Homo-oligomer: A and B are copies of this chain.
């Protein structure tokens, strides 16, 4: 089963990469009010069961893929 995990800095948490992107885009002439940068992780899982896969991914996010103190995550399963 394929899955996509989106990991983003939580609102209010400093995001230096996003600030750099925002300022570079403005310098290039793009009208941007805000930019925030996170990670997208595409996974191919051995699990075929959606509920089991989601539970595994939540554990993986808490343990490795995200830092729950400062990042939020979103899990998308593709059948």
Contacts and interface: CB of A to CB of B under 8 A. Distances in A.
B45 A32 contact: yes
Given A28-B60, A63-B28, A64-B25, A35 B46 contact: no
Interface in A18-57: 18, 21, 24-25, 28, 30-47, 56
User: How many protomers of this protein does the assembly include?
Assistant: 2
Contacts of A44: 32-35
Interface residues on A, range: 20 to 34
> Which of A21, A42, A46 has the most chain B CB atoms inside 10 A of its CB?
A42
A33 B3 CA distance: 11
A59 to B, nearest CB: 8
Contacts of A34: 42-44
